[in-house]
Amino acid sequence: MSSIRRQSIVSSVVIYLGFALGALNIYFFTKEGYFTESEYGLTTLFVSVAISIQAYASLAMPTYIFKFHPYYEHNLPGKQNDMPAIALVVGIAGFLVIMAAGWIFKDLVTRKYSENAPDFVKYYFWVFPLGFGLTMFTILESWGWSIHKPILTSFLKEIVWRFVITVLIALFIWGVISDFGLFIKLYGLTYLIVAIILFAYLYGTGRLPLTLKISKVTRRYFKKILSLCLFVYGSQVVFVTSTVFDTLVIASVLPGGIEKTGVFTLAQFLTSVIQVPQRAVIASSVSHLSRAWREKNLEKIRRIYKRSSINMLLFSLCIFFLIVLNYREAVITFGLKEIFLSGFSAFVFLGLTRIVELGCGVSAQVIGTSTHWRFELTSGVILLVIMLPLTYFLAKKYDIMGPPIANLISFGIYNAIRITFLWRKFRLQPFSISSIYAILTAVLCFVVCYYLFRNMHGYAGLFLRSIVYLVLFGGLTVFFRLSPDVEPVWNTALKRLGLRK
């Protein structure tokens, strides 16, 4: 666990630095005088569509890499490993099919978005370079995770990609980029930049073998690989569709949809800050889970599952209540447009959804790397069947609040199904008494800080609320040893600071 813990912590730090840069970008997107609400909404809609393109185009190649990498690594010399070449070629072919479909169904997109999101129709084809870059990066990222390079991939995705956007924003504000049309076209190329950098590094350092000669491992496991990819592809498409569907519904259905997409996306961004530990833990643990299943080491899987749950629950609770404490005050203090205050309730429901997800640990990865990976498709279909109609009807009824409520209900049921499955099959479940104590600790710290500083405004209020909350929550977490990883991390920190030998 020390390797997973170290990589998770470093990856989390990298990702949070990336989110700090992302927060700076959002500040410029949402501050008066730089971008309109619809222009910011268009950039976020581009990302949502690119994520959908990646889900359809990658054809489950990331899961193929996660699941079968140990077999290729164990049975083949490095230069004879045809896995990365197969994954990249299949991803390119998948993207070409999706791009052709996008061209064919252009009229349908026009009908759905021309009224509430006309700029999306205007710049529609520029979303495809963004989707292609994300598809290639995701496949290369999966390879990077499998060869234990999660920190590098996190750095490129979380920091370098956002820095490129920061540069574009600066050039737009300074007038070097003359109009928003040119800005959004350049924005569509940003994922291609980080994909090329990752490819160049992996290939240049000899960590990305590229051979089109089909290996004995591919021939031996071809039927299993095909079966895995078919099932997981369906599951992946279902899951990603469920995660971006709310944004697509808001943009296409609600009056002023593109502006409301911007408001909703600010809430989503803040919610994604809560998800940082999940991304770091998944990146660090997936190869260990895959190897543990191959070695039939159920105890190691149980240990990773439980520790991932309590660690991610603690992080998610801490960040959620910290944002709740400061949301409204931050919008006012930093001079953001008043319309973004309306995203607070959406953030609360989206944040609770993420707490449920993170608190359930790496359930998806435990199932996905096991011999019962087909269940991911079954549970994903259930999620989609619940979420799609619920999101549409609740959006019609409750406007921007509808999709977050649908998210909480749908993902709550989805995670309950997966936990029940793992318990019945393997007697695996992620919770402990510390899970309850973590929730009570977070609520207690929130109540104390809310009543202490509710009448304090401006930068002083933001600073004091945040510092006191973090000290209280962190102190109680260490004191009560709510996670088995707390003490080792705490001791390491004290040693680095010279406070303990």
* 29-57 pLDDT per residue, tens: 888 778 888 888 889 889 889 998 998 99
Is a pLDDT exceeding 70 seen at residue 496? no
CB 326 within 8 A of CB 465: yes
CB 205 within 8 A of CB 212: no
Asked whether residue 456 is assigned to any structural domain, the reply reads no
Structure tokens at 251: 């943009």
Phi, psi of 480 (to 5 degrees): -90, 0
Outline where DSSP puts E strands in 113-222: none
Which residue is listed with tokens 């989609």? 384
- Interior CA angle at 190 toward 281 and 42, to 5°? 95
Asked whether residue 41 is assigned to any structural domain, the reply reads yes
The pLDDT confidence band at residue 9, using thresholds 50, 70 and 90, is low
Residue 473: which of 315, 259, 356 has the closest Cα? 315
- The number of domains in the chain is 1
Structure tokens at 24: 């700076």
Asked whether residue 487 is assigned to any structural domain, the reply reads no
Which pLDDT does position 285 carry in this prediction? 79
Asked whether residue 446 is assigned to any structural domain, the reply reads no
Asked whether residue 51 is assigned to any structural domain, the reply reads yes
* 302-345 pLDDT per residue, tens: 999 999 899 999 989 999 999 999 999 998 988 888 888 888 99
CB 117 within 8 A of CB 258: yes
Identity of the residue numbered 128: F
User: What's the average model confidence in pLDDT over 257-273?
Assistant: 82
Is a pLDDT exceeding 90 seen at residue 372? no
The pLDDT confidence band at residue 214, using thresholds 50, 70 and 90, is very high
Asked whether residue 368 is assigned to any structural domain, the reply reads yes
- What is the residue range of 102's domain? 2-431
Is a pLDDT exceeding 70 seen at residue 495? no
CB 391 within 8 A of CB 349: no
Which pLDDT does position 109 carry in this prediction? 83
The model's pTM:
0.75
The pLDDT confidence band at residue 417, using thresholds 50, 70 and 90, is very high
Which pLDDT does position 7 carry in this prediction? 62
Which pLDDT does position 320 carry in this prediction? 95
Phi, psi of 31 (to 5 degrees): -75, 150
Which pLDDT does position 459 carry in this prediction? 92
Which pLDDT does position 313 carry in this prediction? 93
Q: What percent of the chain has pLDDT over 70?
A: 94
The pLDDT confidence band at residue 376, using thresholds 50, 70 and 90, is confident
